[in-house]
Amino acid sequence: MGSATDSDGFRVGDGFTLRDEFTVREALDGYFEAAGLPADGGYAQKWVKLQVGRVFVFAFPNTQSRIRAVKFHDIHHLATGYETTWTGEAEIGAWEIASGCADHTAA
């Protein structure tokens, strides 16, 4: 989970420091870059591809309902500090279920 770094920011997962003066868009841009994601977070991709290391595991369509859910999910990464690792995704998934993501079945 995220931790305080100094009086100017909050360190979230993947080595990104969230600053008070960032807009949500600026924070997401920096987080996507630090996590090695496409500039748009992958929202425009037709397929979501999961892999372990360099080994391809599974792919599924990047539907509109999934894109809607994952936009909130990405902001939740900033709020919680969970990384984009298998462990971090499991942690944030549990946090989202506990928080009540009932109308985001694609999440």
pLDDT tens, residue order, the chain (107 aa): 444 444 556 566 667 888 888 899 999 998 888 888 899 999 999 999 888 878 878 899 999 999 999 999 999 888 888 888 889 889 998 988 888 876 666 65
Q: Is residue 65 part of a domain?
A: yes
Q: Which domain holds residue 14?
A: 3-99
**pLDDT of res. 19:** 82
Place of tokens 């997962």: 13
Q: Is residue 107 part of a domain?
A: no
Q: Is residue 86 part of a domain?
A: yes
Q: Is residue 105 part of a domain?
A: no
**pLDDT of res. 50:** 84
CA distance 29 to 81: 15
**pLDDT of res. 91:** 92
**pLDDT of res. 36:** 83
Q: Is residue 84 part of a domain?
A: yes
Q: Is residue 104 part of a domain?
A: no
Q: Is residue 67 part of a domain?
A: yes
Q: Is residue 78 part of a domain?
A: yes
The alpha carbon of residue 36 and the mean position of all alpha carbons in its chain are separated, in whole angstroms, by: 11
Total count of domains within the chain:
1
